[in-house]
Amino acid sequence: MEKLEISCAYRVEISREMLKKAFLDVEKNDQPHQADVLIKLYKLVFGKAWDAIEKVHGWPRCGKGIWEDCCRMFRDFDCRHHRGVMAGGLWLNNGFSFDERLPIRAVVFDGKISLHRELGIGEMGES
């Protein structure tokens, strides 16, 4: 399958309540997994475009409040559901980068994404 790579920019504000909802929604599953929470957070950043994205090149950047909340919430989630892993490790390896210049609830992505060619740009919708 051919990929289409484009440059893009996204900026969102994510409240603590939005973060909590992402974790609580996943915890309702029979087998809650931290990767499902991470995908929900990426969907908050990329909106409707998420379904057309095959690969994100790089990581979104976030303010201190988001980063600290996510670190704590992923650690607590892992302690409840994944005792055999490094608590919070998925967030540290694949979560957003911290950017002290951003407001505490802001998340930005300005980089490249690869799209599924069969979906293309027209299917991305508004974010």
Kind of pairing between the strands at 3-13 and 106-116:
antiparallel
Largest interatomic CA distance in the chain = 43
Q: For residue 1, what pLDDT is reported?
A: 57
- 79 vs 1: CA distance, rounded Å: 39
Angle at 35 between CA 67 and CA 114, to 5 degrees: 85
How far is residue 81 from each of residues 22, 60, 65, measured CA to CA in Å? Answer: 15, 26, 24
- 35 vs 48: CA distance, rounded Å: 19
**Count, residues in the chain:** 127
* DSSP letter assigned to residue 118: T
Say if residue 6 is exposed, middle or buried (CB neighbours under 10 Å; 0-12, 13-18, 19+).
Answer: exposed
Flag residues of the chain having pLDDT under 70: 1-2, 117-127
**pTM of the shown model:** 0.87
**Mean pLDDT of all residues belonging to the chain:** 90
For the chain, give every domain's residue range. Answer: 8-43+59-107
Q: For residue 2, what pLDDT is reported?
A: 65
Q: For residue 117, what pLDDT is reported?
A: 60
Q: For residue 126, what pLDDT is reported?
A: 45
Q: For residue 46, what pLDDT is reported?
A: 96
Q: For residue 99, what pLDDT is reported?
A: 97
Phi/psi region, residue 85 (left: phi>0; alpha: psi -120 to 50; beta: rest), is beta
Q: For residue 3, what pLDDT is reported?
A: 73
